[in-house]
Amino acid sequence: MPLKTPRVALVTGGMGGLGEAICIKLAGLGYKVVTTHSPGNAKAAEWLDAMNKQGYGFRAYGCDVADYDSAVACVQKVVAEVGAIDVLVNNAGITRDMTFKKMDKVNWDAVMRTNLDSLFNMSKQVVDAMSDRGWGRVINVSSVNGSKGAFGQTNYSAAKAGVHGFTKALALEVAKKGVTVNTISPGYIGTKMVTAIPKEVLDSKILPHIPVGRLGKPEEVAGLIIYLASDEAAFVTGANIAINGGQHMQ
């Protein structure tokens, strides 16, 4: 249902894949949509122009979500130029996959900072203001592998498991302020990153473990986020909602 009054939604890592689908869904319901991209991303302006030619009206800001000062500067600019942030979707994330035997500190730190520290960096800038206004939504994107683990992903699985610990604790603190905090944990979604996996690997090692027999669609995950961002989801907080085609049931 379209919004009666415009709200501002900030989606980190919104260019391409799941993030783009989230931005499109939000814009379609009347949200003022802002996304972040890595500072110096040469393709950001091109992506933004292409999206806005389709009428979405997105705004995009360079932000290193792994860096606290960058998050501060980004949110201050968004609030000044677009308005107070009502919905924060912590979607930005990276992988640096390798076995633990080969894992080094650099690749451990990179994944932890981008996938977990970023939740603190970004949420810290918006939650107090949401609480003061008596309404807000923080939606954190975890992963099926944060729940069940994955070979070669000690860094990623640890970070994504930490996402939900963060969600539950923050949800308790702001529940009486009209602010909800939730986690979604997607399984294998048909983004460019996943579809780049060799077909024989998909067919033999991934799809057989998904009971519905296919990859998820970014639009399906975005639809779940739309619900969690809505007024109707006011009684849902501290939840971790799996959306993985039955691959891992909690």
Q: Which residues are catalytic?
A: 156
Token pair for residue 45? 């302006």
List CB contacts of 80: < 8 A, sequence separation 6 or more. none
Sheet of strand 87-90, all strands in order from the earlier edge strand to the far edge: 59-62, 32-37, 8-11, 87-90, 136-141, 179-186, 240-243
Q: Report H helices in the chain.
A: 17-28, 44-53, 68-81, 105-112, 118-123, 127-133, 144-148, 154-174, 192-195, 199-201, 218-228
Collapse the DSSP code of 141 into the 3-class scheme (helix H, G, I; strand E, B; otherwise coil) and give the result: strand
In whole angstroms, what separates CA 43 from the centre of its chain?
20
Q: How many CB atoms lie within 10 A of CB 57?
A: 11
C-beta neighbour count of 109 within 10 angstroms = 14
Q: What is the DSSP letter of 47?
A: H
